[in-house]
């Protein structure tokens, strides 16, 4: 949902937002619905920013390509060498379960990524992350960069 909102926000012209605000805001004020709309807007904005702060650089898709980890975020793709991954931790006690990856050197979007393993995969998120960890260890032993 957040990815669709970002895409909509980046494609939606600023002048249309201003026109909507000029038309909708007076209607809300004169009808008295402003008392409901403002707290709801504040709540939605707060939830959006809490999500952004909690999950640093959320990545939508992750896959292994030879000695690289491919990361997809907001329709863009980045390659990270498996040997550059410093640490990886899986948090299954939170909803949604997520994996935080720290890199030894920053890449395109920073040094920390968060991604959400597919829970429907055979063996669940633990098996997916364990397989990724084995690939990282193999790449580090081989010294591939």
Band of pLDDT at residue 3, cut at 50, 70 and 90: low
First to last CA, the chain: 35
Q: What integer pLDDT is reported at residue 9 of this predicted model?
A: 62
Residue 69 has pLDDT above 80, yes or no: yes
% the chain with pLDDT above 70? 81
Torsion on CA atoms 68, 69, 72, 77, rounded to nearest 10: -10
Give the single-character DSSP code of 144.
Answer: -
If you average pLDDT over every residue of the chain, what do you get?
78
Residue 99 has pLDDT above 60, yes or no: yes
| Domains of the chain (ranges, CATH numbers) | 2-54 (no CATH), 58-142 (2.30.29.30)
Over residues 95-113, mean pLDDT? 83
pTM of the model: 0.57
Band of pLDDT at residue 62, cut at 50, 70 and 90: confident
Q: What integer pLDDT is reported at residue 108 of this predicted model?
A: 81
- 129, 85 Cβ separation under 8 angstroms: no
Separation of alpha carbons 54 and 95, rounded Å: 12
State pLDDT tens for residues 108-141.
888 888 888 776 655 677 777 888 888 888 888 8
């Amino acid at each position: 949902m957040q990815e669709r909102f970002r895409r909509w926000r980046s494609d939606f012209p600023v002048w249309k937002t201003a026109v909507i605000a000029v038309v909708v805001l007076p209607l809300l004020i004169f009808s008295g619905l402003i008392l409901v709309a403002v707290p709801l807007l504040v709540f939605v904005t707060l939830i959006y920013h809490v999500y952004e702060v909690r999950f640093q650089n959320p990545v939508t898709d992750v896959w292994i390509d030879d000695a690289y980890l491919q990361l997809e975020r907001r329709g863009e793709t980045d390659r990270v060498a498996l040997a550059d991954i410093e640490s990886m931790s899986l948090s299954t006690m939170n909803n949604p379960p997520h994996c935080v990856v720290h890199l030894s050197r920053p890449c395109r979007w920073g040094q920390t990524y968060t991604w959400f393993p597919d829970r429907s995969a055979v063996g669940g998120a633990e098996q997916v992350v364990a397989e990724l960890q084995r690939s990282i260890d193999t790449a580090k032993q081989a010294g591939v960069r």
